[in-house]
């Protein structure tokens, strides 16, 4: 189930995987201290296997990302967060 939450300032948070800009996510993650040089394919597989969220500016550009590794019942691990 996809959800979209929009703040009064125009920023939106969405869990719609089709809306994610995985090229932008990869560009950030590949330079982060926790996943330097991570492959684009690995980023895509990680997002597909997780509950992933994108944060979007009023112009629609993706400006943040977070993913939750979860069994959707009793366990969750927050990973790859940036804004």
Q: pLDDT digits over 51-79, tens only?
A: 999 999 999 999 999 999 999 999 999 99
| Rounded-to-integer distance, Cα 57 and Cα 70, Å | 27
Q: pLDDT per residue over 1-50, tens digit each?
A: 566 777 778 899 999 999 999 999 999 999 999 999 999 999 999 999 99
Report DSSP letters for 32-77, one per residue: SSSSTT--HHHHHHHHHTSEEEEEE-TTS-EEEEEEEEE-SSS-EE
Q: Which residue has the tokens 């950030």?
A: 28
Give the pLDDT of residue 2.
Answer: 66
Give the pLDDT of residue 6.
Answer: 75
Q: Measuring CA to CA, which residue among 54, 53, 50, 55 is closest to residue 72?
A: 50
Task: Please state the pTM of the whole predicted model.
Answer: 0.88
């Amino acid at each position: 189930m996809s959800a979209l939450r929009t703040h009064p300032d125009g920023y939106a948070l969405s869990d719609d995987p089709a809306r994610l800009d995985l090229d932008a996510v990869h560009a950030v993650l590949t330079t982060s201290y926790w996943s330097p040089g991570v492959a684009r394919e690995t980023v895509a597989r990680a997002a597909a296997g997780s509950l992933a969220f994108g944060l979007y500016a009023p112009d629609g550009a993706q400006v943040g990302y977070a993913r939750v590794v979860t069994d959707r019942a009793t366990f969750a691990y927050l990973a790859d967060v940036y804004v």
